[in-house]
Amino acid sequence: MNPRQENSVLELRGLTVKFPRIDGTWDKVVRAVDLNINRGEIVGLVGESGSGKTMVGLSLLDLVPQTGIRTVDSVRLNGHEITDYRPEQTRALRGREIAMVFQDPMSSFNPVRTVGAMMLETVLRYQKISIKEARTRCVEAMSDVGIPAPEQRFGAYPHELSGGLRQRVMIALATLNNSSLLIADEPTTALDSTIQAQILDLLKSRIGERGMILVTHDLGVAAEICDRIVVMKRGEFIESGECAELLARPQHEYTKSLVRAVPSFRRPYVVPRSSFTAVEDRPLLEGKTLRVTFRTKGRELHAVNGVDISLSRGETVGLVGESGSGKSTLISALMGIHRPTQGSVFFDGQDITDAREQELKPLRRRLQLVFQDPYASLNPRWTVRKIVAEPLRAQRLGTPKEREGRVREVLSLVGLSDDSLDRRPNQFSGGQRQRIAIARALALQPEILIADEPVAGLDVSMQAQIVALLKSLQSEFGIGYLIVAHDLALMHHIADRLVVMYLGEIVEEAEGRALTRDPLHPYTAALLSAAPDPQPERRSERISLRGEQPSPLNLPSGCAFHSRCPIARPLCSVEKPALTENHGRHVACHFPGELRSAGTEAV
């Protein structure tokens, strides 16, 4: 074995994956690609939705869907030729030599088994040790990936863990048997910036002598941890190179377009701001002193705790904060999905807090919602035609012919062709499903659109197209947007105002660019410092937060953020700061402005 082979974990030659079309032809989703991965190396596989990135990873695990055909000239793993392995031999490699961290742990885990039981099964399948020793190794692995109280979490079910903890369990599972190749498929897509930063740091720390393939549509994420980047388009590798060099000086026009489309604090974004100017004195949508409380196991969970928020026609308000901060519950209260425990909701001056469903129905035409999870919000049995036409039918608008025309129109607006009309959601990628959800919401031409992470699952070029579409509609029709997002760089460019939430409360609110340039609350500064950047070498040191967000069932005394705050003082643990005006903005902190993120030098 020559020195190059000794350092090589994976040598892949001539991989092709194809699926049959209805007309009898073949659709090649991966086209004769070659890939080398060395020990201790992280290679980013980037490209738009449908480019074939995930299929490369699945092919290495022999998990190509049954209708697909995989052909390959050569696969060498740790110097051993495995091209002609039988299916049972390839299966034996999974978890032992090749492991995968999937995009959505919730759909990958068995919901009726504890995480400990699944980890034990993985260890005992490949290691001849006692159950007691296997359990010890599992708990140690959970501790190694930063899971607090691993002994207690060992007996937890997946739904009892936060998104960040579930992803940590997935990484612990993937590294339990010291596999030599780790494939991470969009491991941080659904996570907020602080948890995303922690997971990326964790992946980098676990590389050791392994090789890693990071599948991602986010060039900022790739820039954080990758040594090399390979760009895919329509099943082909079109450009590759050392990470910093490729991002700074891309050669292929497609790569250049991807880099330009990445939102950054330091350069102008491709989407202009809306030219619409609101003329109303009063907000179109307003929540006053909103509280939403749930009772669970005899205790009260304060999901939203005394929030004031407003949105005018033609305005874009960004709502940011970690998972569990109350953002989704707040928009549910504004939409009438959850009735506030206290406070009032007004739409166009009308109090709709206690409105019955029949009274809310005509308002639905003017107020629409794009849900966070397109996998769960689209009826899997319906065609796209029926899904997008549903709100038109519910409001009894137009003739069948007119509805059909409107459906085709909005699908075209979000970049989907007429070929998609008779297909079902499971026939689309995650990004394409999100476009379908946006098209459905736009069908009624609403005055207010509330969007819960509307572009989180989209690649950067489609993200730019969707944002351009939303801003174009805003300029033309004066639509107001309340956007829940974890991409602060994107919000920097499109939000007129930014509202930051933590544990059910607003901790800072300001004009969008003022907040990202000069955050006053330490939590805001930490969020900004954790945002991935295609040029991370230009950013100052990340602000680390201690531990995880406390449970809303057991809120800390004083300032809710003090247990994680880098500048907390004794006063913070005993006295809760009020949301007060500070130089034209609002902040809830005893020591505003003392901790600033130097990484947001913005345009």
- Band (pLDDT 50/70/90 cuts) for residue 399 is very high
**What mean pLDDT do residues 2-22 have?**
83
| b/e map 162-183, b = 16+ CB within 10 Å | bbbbbbbbbbbbbbbbebbbbb
Q: What does the pLDDT look like over 323-348, one tens digit per residue? A: 778 898 999 999 988 899 999 999 99
* Distance separating the N- and C-terminal Cα atoms of the chain: 53
Contact 220, 538 (CB under 8 A): no
- Band (pLDDT 50/70/90 cuts) for residue 597 is very low
Domain ranges of the chain: 3-261, 266-363+448-520+579-594, 367-445
Q: With 50 as the cut, is the pLDDT of residue 175 above it?
A: yes
Q: With 90 as the cut, is the pLDDT of residue 88 above it?
A: no
Residue 494 to residue 419: CA distance in whole angstroms: 32
H/E/C letters for each residue in 166-184?
Answer: HHHHHHHHHHCCCCCEEEE
* Domain with residues 266-363+448-520+579-594, CATH architecture: 3-Layer(aba) Sandwich (3.40)
- Determine how β-strand 42-46 pairs with β-strand 228-233: parallel
Q: What does the pLDDT look like over 285-323, one tens digit per residue? A: 999 999 999 887 778 888 899 999 999 999 999 999 887
Return the percentage of the chain with pLDDT > 70, whole number.
93
Contact 450, 366 (CB under 8 A): no
Helix H or strand E segment including 17: strand 8-20
Q: What does the pLDDT look like over 18-52, one tens digit per residue? A: 999 878 889 999 999 999 999 999 999 998 878 89
Say yes or no: domain 3-261 is CATH 1.20.1260.10: no
**What mean pLDDT do residues 489-498 have?**
90
Residue 440 to residue 433: CA distance in whole angstroms: 11
CA geometry: angle at 370 spanning 364 and 376, to 5°?
115
Tokens linked to 10: 């994976």
Tokens linked to 339: 């009735």
Residue 73 to residue 71: CA distance in whole angstroms: 7
**What mean pLDDT do residues 268-278 have?**
56
Domains 3-261 and 266-363+448-520+579-594 are alike in CATH topology: yes
- Band (pLDDT 50/70/90 cuts) for residue 238 is very high
- Band (pLDDT 50/70/90 cuts) for residue 534 is confident
- Band (pLDDT 50/70/90 cuts) for residue 602 is very low
pLDDT value of residue 373: 73
H/E/C letters for each residue in 427-468?
Answer: HCCHHHHHHHHHHHHHCCCCCEEEEECCCCCCCHHHHHHHHH
Residue 53 to residue 58: CA distance in whole angstroms: 9
**What mean pLDDT do residues 507-536 have?**
88
pTM recorded for the entire structure: 0.81
What is the average pLDDT value for the chain, to the nearest integer?
87
DSSP-derived 3-state class of residue 44:
strand
Closest by CA position to 354, among listed 341, 369, 367 = 341
- Determine how β-strand 42-46 pairs with β-strand 448-452: unpaired
**What mean pLDDT do residues 439-453 have?**
92
Contacts 24+ apart (CB under 8 A), 539-542: 539/598, 539/599, 540/597, 540/598, 540/599, 542/197, 542/599
In sequence order, the β-bridge partners of residue 466 are: none
H/E/C letters for each residue in 580-602?
Answer: EEECCEEECCCCCCCCCCCCCCC
pLDDT value of residue 5: 56
